[in-house]
């Protein structure tokens, strides 16, 4: 990078390489033109008004690129499906969600890019639900001019990924709910779990096919699961009976239905007694009573992922441990909090 002093009239299209401040009546008014500004013909009069007949401009050497071009290329490289980029401002390009969905960050590519000299890419947490228009990431370069090689290395890292920053849209699923508990089945107490889950699924735009009531009987729970599958359920939620009492037979019922247990017990609080199973491709979730008593639980970490079309693995559940402790704030701000935002998988 070289600098050159030239007449302002000849500077259109050139890159200013020093700040020009505005002093009006001996009073400092801030920066009128910042270092890095690309001079436009409309700027000339203002430069002259500021008393500048000559300015220092950059002369890029072969293989160098200006910060704004670098920021633009980084943004375009990082943005996967469902993500748009802002224009650069002092090289910073912001990435925004084009629609509501699940944010996916390729953590390997993210680290690779940030390990390069002179570039940064900073994101929200992986696997969080995001809304249309929300800012998901910001990228920029550190110096005013960077070697083109650095940006092409970042582009290569991004190209090897399936999208460094992307948004998976939420799908509408058919859901079967099985409420267990002989006390509820016999009508001795009013069901409070069914309505909680019904409202949650409504919020996600999914359709609850039916709420089936079952006594604490593993065989009956298994039958209800099979019935839900016959009805066309794409997700099955089974509530209660998940802990240590002799009548807590929901895990046995799920197993008896023929579902494969992926994990019983999850490192999330609330949600420790959660069970994840699959009947073929159909997820079956055993939801402990905390799913009814607490506003936000492990269910709110995993449901968005199912609705985005992901298959939950044992590893996904194990990875919830870091950040899996809810702070139980008085005014809940989920998802804008630390719950589920640890090293939440790749
Ligand atoms: N000794 C231990 N007790 C508990 C443990 C434990 O490890 N050792 N774990 C606790 C944790 S963590 C959770 S979470 C809950 C899980 O409870 P369950 O899923 O087994 O729930 P139930 O025992 O079936 O019910 C608890 C409570 O809630 C009422 N209930 C259940 N379903 C409904 C419904 N649909 N509508 C209204 N009320 C419902 C039920 O009658 C019980 O009173 O276990 C902890 N305990
Ligand atoms: O499954 Mo329980 O949350 O630890 O309340």
Average pLDDT over the chain, rounded to whole?
95
The predicted model gives 55-73 an average pLDDT of 93
Q: Which residues pair with 56 in a beta bridge?
A: 5
56 with 17: CB under 8 angstroms? yes
Tell me the ligand closest to 268's alpha carbon. Answer: 2
**Residue 273 CB less than 6 A away from ligand 2:** yes
Q: Which of 239, 289, 300 to mutate to test the pocket of ligand 2 (most atoms within 8 A of CB)?
A: 289
Residue-level pLDDT at 25 = 67
The predicted model gives 173-188 an average pLDDT of 98
Residue-level pLDDT at 242 = 97
pLDDT digits (tens, 9 = 90+) for 288-340: 999 999 999 999 999 999 999 999 999 999 999 999 999 999 999 999 999 99
Tell me the ligand closest to 248's alpha carbon. Answer: 1
Cα 290 to ligand 2 centre (Å): 5
Residue-level pLDDT at 238 = 98
**Residue 325 CB less than 6 A away from ligand 2:** no
**Residue 88 CB less than 6 A away from ligand 2:** no
pTM of the model: 0.90
pLDDT digits (tens, 9 = 90+) for 219-256: 999 999 999 999 999 999 999 999 998 989 999 999 99
Cα 270 to ligand 2 centre (Å): 4
Residue closest via CA to ligand 1's atom 4 equals: 243
**Residue 240 CB less than 6 A away from ligand 1:** yes
Residue 343 has pLDDT above 70, yes or no: no
Q: Which residues contact 217 (CB under 8 A, 6 or more apart)?
A: 182, 249, 253
Residue-level pLDDT at 26 = 66
Residue-level pLDDT at 3 = 87
Band of residue 21 on the pLDDT scale cut at 50, 70, 90: confident
Pick from 287, 198, 272, 285: nearest CA to 240: 287
Residue closest via CA to ligand 1's atom 10 equals: 243
Residue closest via CA to ligand 2's atom 4 equals: 272
Q: Where are the alpha helices (DSSP H) in the chain?
A: 44-49, 67-78, 107-114, 148-159, 182-185, 193-203, 218-231, 250-256, 290-293, 298-307, 314-318
pLDDT digits (tens, 9 = 90+) for 97-143: 999 999 999 999 999 999 999 999 999 999 999 999 999 999 999 99
**Residue 67 CB less than 6 A away from ligand 1:** no
Band of residue 346 on the pLDDT scale cut at 50, 70, 90: very low
Count of residues in the chain: 346
**Residue 270 CB less than 6 A away from ligand 2:** yes
**Residue 231 CB less than 6 A away from ligand 1:** no
**Residue 273 CB less than 6 A away from ligand 1:** yes
Q: Which ligand 1 atom is nearest residue 269's CA? A: 12
Residue-level pLDDT at 295 = 95
Cα 241 to ligand 1 centre (Å): 6
Band of residue 24 on the pLDDT scale cut at 50, 70, 90: low
Q: Which ligand 1 atom is nearest residue 192's CA? A: 36
**Residue 288 CB less than 6 A away from ligand 2:** yes
Could you give the 3-state DSSP secondary structure of residue 68? helix
DSSP string spanning 222-283?
A: HHHHHHHHHHT-SEEEEES--SSSTT--HHHHHHHTTPEEEEES-S-BS-TT-EEEEETTEE
Domains of the chain: 2-59 (3.90.105.10), 64-168 (3.90.1170.30), 174-321 (3.40.980.10)
Cα 240 to ligand 1 centre (Å): 6
Report whether the peptide linkage leading into residue 163 is cis, meaning its omega lies within 30 degrees of zero.
no
pLDDT digits (tens, 9 = 90+) for 254-269: 999 999 999 999 999 9
Q: Which of 180, 186, 240 to mutate to test the pocket of ligand 1 (most atoms within 8 A of CB)?
A: 240
Residue closest via CA to ligand 1's atom 17 equals: 289
Cα 287 to ligand 2 centre (Å): 9
**Residue 286 CB less than 6 A away from ligand 1:** no
pLDDT digits (tens, 9 = 90+) for 181-226: 999 999 999 999 999 999 999 999 999 999 999 999 999 999 999 9
């Amino acid at each position: 990078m070289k600098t050159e002093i030239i007449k302002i009239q000849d500077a259109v299209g050139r890159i200013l390489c020093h700040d020009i401040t505005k002093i009006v009546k001996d009073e400092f008014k801030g920066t009128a033109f910042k270092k890095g500004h690309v001079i436009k013909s409309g700027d000339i009069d203002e430069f002259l008004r500021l008393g500048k007949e000559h300015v220092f401009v950059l002369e890029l050497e072969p293989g160098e690129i200006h910060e704004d071009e670098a920021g633009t290329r980084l943004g375009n490289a990082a943005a996967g499906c469902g993500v748009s980029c802002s224009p650069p401002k002092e090289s910073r390009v912001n990435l925004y969600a084009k629609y509501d969905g699940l944010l996916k960050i390729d953590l390997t590519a993210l680290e690779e890019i940030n390990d390069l000299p002179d570039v940064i890419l900073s994101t929200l947490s992986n696997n969080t639900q995001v809304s249309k228009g929300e800012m998901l990431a910001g990228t920029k370069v550190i110096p005013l001019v960077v070697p083109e090689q650095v940006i092409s290395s970042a582009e290569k890292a991004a190209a090897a990924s399936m999208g460094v920053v992307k948004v998976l849209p939420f799908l509408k699923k058919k859901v079967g709910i099985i409420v267990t508990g002989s006390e509820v089945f016999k009508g001795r107490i009013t069901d409070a779990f069914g309505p909680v889950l019904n409202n949650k699924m409504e919020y996600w735009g999914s359709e609850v096919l039916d709420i089936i009531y079952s006594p604490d009987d593993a065989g009956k729970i298994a039958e209800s699961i099979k019935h839900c599958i016959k009805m066309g359920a794409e997700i099955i939620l089974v509530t209660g009976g998940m802990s240590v009492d002799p009548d807590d037979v929901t895990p046995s019922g799920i197993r008896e239905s023929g579902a494969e247990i992926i994990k019983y017990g999850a490192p999330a609080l609330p949600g420790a007694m959660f069970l994840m199973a699959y009947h073929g491709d159909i997820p079956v979730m055993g939801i402990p009573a905390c799913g009814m008593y607490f506003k936000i639980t492990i269910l709110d970490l995993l449901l968005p992922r199912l609705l985005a079309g992901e298959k939950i693995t044992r590893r996904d559940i194990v990875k919830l441990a870091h950040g899996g402790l809810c702070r139980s704030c008085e005014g809940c701000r989920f998802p804008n909090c630390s719950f589920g935002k640890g090293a939440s998988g790749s």
